[in-house]
Amino acid sequence: MSMAQQAEPALGRPPAPGSKQQDGRTARRPLALRLLARPEVGVFLGAAAVLVFFLIVAPAVRQGSSMATILYQSSTIGIMALPVALLMIGGEFDLSSGVAVISSALTASMLSYQLTLNVWTGVIVALAVSLAIGFFNGWLVVRTGLPSFLITLGTFLILQGANLAVTKLVTGNVATDDISDMDGFDQAKKLFASSFTVGGVEVKITVVWWLVFAALATWVLLRTKYGNWIFAVGGNKESARAVGVPVTFTKISLFMLVGFGAWFVGMHNLFSFNTVQSGEGVGQELIYIAAAVIGGCLLTGGAGSAIGPVFGAFMFGMVNQGIVFAGWNPDWFKAFLGVMLLGAVLINLWVRRTATRR
C-alpha cells in the first residue's frame, strides 16, 4: 500500500501560497517511472488491456455504436464514481450512494406527479433533498467521529426503507407513475437523458456530462486550495486541522458532492425510463466504490485521482458489455466479470509497484 503514497501531495503540509509544490518525490526519477507512479496510470493500462482484449475476441465491439453503448454504461457508473472517489480521497466512505440515486429520482417523480407540477419543480426539490442527505451523512460523521461506514450504513437502510414505504404511501404502488406527458419533461430529458449523433454514432448525453465532471474534478483536485484540503483531510485529519484546513467543511461538502452525483444520476434514470421502481439501486454503491478503488483511490484515504475512476468506470462498463458482445455463456457472466476486474486490479497494482520500486 505504501507505494500509493507516492501520489499524495504534501500530506499535512499547508499549501504555501505562491510557491509550487517541491516535495522532491519525483525529482530523481526518470519520466516514465514518474508517470507510472501516478495512481491513474495503472488503471489506464488495465483498461487499455481489457479494451484490446475485447477488440480481439468480440468483433462487435469494433463498431462505433458498440463503443457508444459501452461508454453509456460506463458514464452512469462514472458520474457517481467521481464524487465517491473524491470522498474516499478525503478519507470517508458512503454506502448510501446507490439507494440515494433512487431516493432522488423518486422525490422528483412523486412530487411532480402528485401535485401536478412542472417537473422542474420536482427536479429542484430532489436536488435539495439529495444535498440534504449528503449534509446529514457528513454532519453526523464529523459530529460523532464514528466511522462513516456505520453512519452511511444507517442512512443506506433508512433510505432503502423510506424509498419503499414513502412510494407505497404516496402512490399506492411500489413504482412511481409515468410523468412523461407532463410539462417540462422534454426539456429535462434533453439535459439529463438525451443523445446526439457523432459520425453516424448515437452518443448519450451522460457521456459528455461524465467527461465534463471528470475534467472539473481533476482541476479542483490538482489546482485549487479545496483540492489540497481533500488530500489533507484524507491523509491525516488532525495534522490537517492543525495547519488550518477546515476539516468539517471539507468533509461535509464532500458528502454533499456525492449527494449531487446521486441527484444527477437519479434524474437520468427518471427521464430516460419515465418511472422509477422503489427497490432499485441496492448494490450499486459497491460498484461505484469498486470503480473508484480500481481507479487508484485508497480505501484508507489520502490518495487517488479524479481521472483514475474515469478509467475504473470505463473498465467496468467495458467488461460488463464486452462479455455480452463476445457472446460468452451467460451462466458465467458474474464470474467472468469478477475475474476480469481482479485481473485489471492486479495489473494496476503491479504497475504501481514496479514504478515505485528502487
- In the list 163, 218, 228, 305, the residue contacting other proteins (rule: CB under 8 A) is 163
159 binds other proteins (CB under 8 A): no
182 binds other proteins (CB under 8 A): yes
Contact set for other proteins, span 190-219 (CB under 8 A):
202
Minimum CB distance to other proteins, residue 69 (Å):
5
- In the list 3, 175, 208, 222, the residue contacting other proteins (rule: CB under 8 A) is 175
- In the list 18, 145, 172, 199, the residue contacting other proteins (rule: CB under 8 A) is 172
Pairing of strands 195-198, 201-204: antiparallel
- In the list 178, 216, 243, 299, the residue contacting other proteins (rule: CB under 8 A) is 178
168 binds other proteins (CB under 8 A): yes
State the burial class of residue 235 (Cβ atoms within 10 Å of its Cβ: 0-12, 13-18, 19+).
Answer: buried
Which letter does DSSP use for residue 55 in this model?
H
Q: Which three cell numbers stand for residue 11?
A: 500530506
- For 41-57, letters b (16+ CB in 10 Å) and e give bbbbbbbebbbebbeee
Minimum CB distance to other proteins, residue 75 (Å):
9
Contact set for other proteins, span 283-342 (CB under 8 A):
283-284, 287, 317, 320-321, 324-327, 330-331, 333-334
3 binds other proteins (CB under 8 A): no
Minimum CB distance to other proteins, residue 252 (Å):
11
Question: Quick check: helix, strand or coil at residue 35?
Answer: helix
Task: Compare residues 72 and 93 and give the one whose CB is closer to other proteins.
Answer: 72
Contact set for other proteins, span 261-290 (CB under 8 A):
268-269, 272-275, 277-284, 287
- In the list 12, 14, 184, 343, the residue contacting other proteins (rule: CB under 8 A) is 184
- In the list 32, 174, 216, 243, the residue contacting other proteins (rule: CB under 8 A) is 174
Task: Compare residues 135 and 226 and give the one whose CB is closer to other proteins.
Answer: 135
126 binds other proteins (CB under 8 A): no
Minimum CB distance to other proteins, residue 309 (Å):
17
Q: Which helix (H) or strand (E) holds 138?
A: helix 119-144
CA torsion, ordered 335, 291, 286, 60, to nearest 10 deg? -40
CA torsion, ordered 304, 308, 312, 313, to nearest 10 deg? 110
Q: Are the C-beta atoms of residues 102 and 278 closer than 8 Å to each other?
A: yes
Q: Which three cell numbers stand for residue 302?
A: 489520502
- Block residue for cell numbers 426503507: 161
160 binds other proteins (CB under 8 A): yes
Count of residues that interact with other proteins, criterion CB under 8 A: 71
Minimum CB distance to other proteins, residue 50 (Å):
15
Please state, in angstroms and rounded to a whole number, the distance separating the CA atoms of residues 325 and 319.
10
Q: Which stretch binds other proteins (CB under 8 A): 37-45, 107-115, 210-218, 235-243?
A: 107-115
Residues facing residue 201 across a β-bridge: 198
Q: Are the C-beta atoms of residues 12 and 232 closer than 8 Å to each other?
A: yes
Please state, in angstroms and rounded to a whole number, the distance separating the CA atoms of residues 174 and 184.
24
Phi, psi of 324 (to 5 degrees): -70, -45
109 binds other proteins (CB under 8 A): no
Task: Compare residues 15 and 266 and give the one whose CB is closer to other proteins.
Answer: 266
- In the list 1, 27, 31, 115, the residue contacting other proteins (rule: CB under 8 A) is 115
Q: Are the C-beta atoms of residues 98 and 282 closer than 8 Å to each other?
A: yes
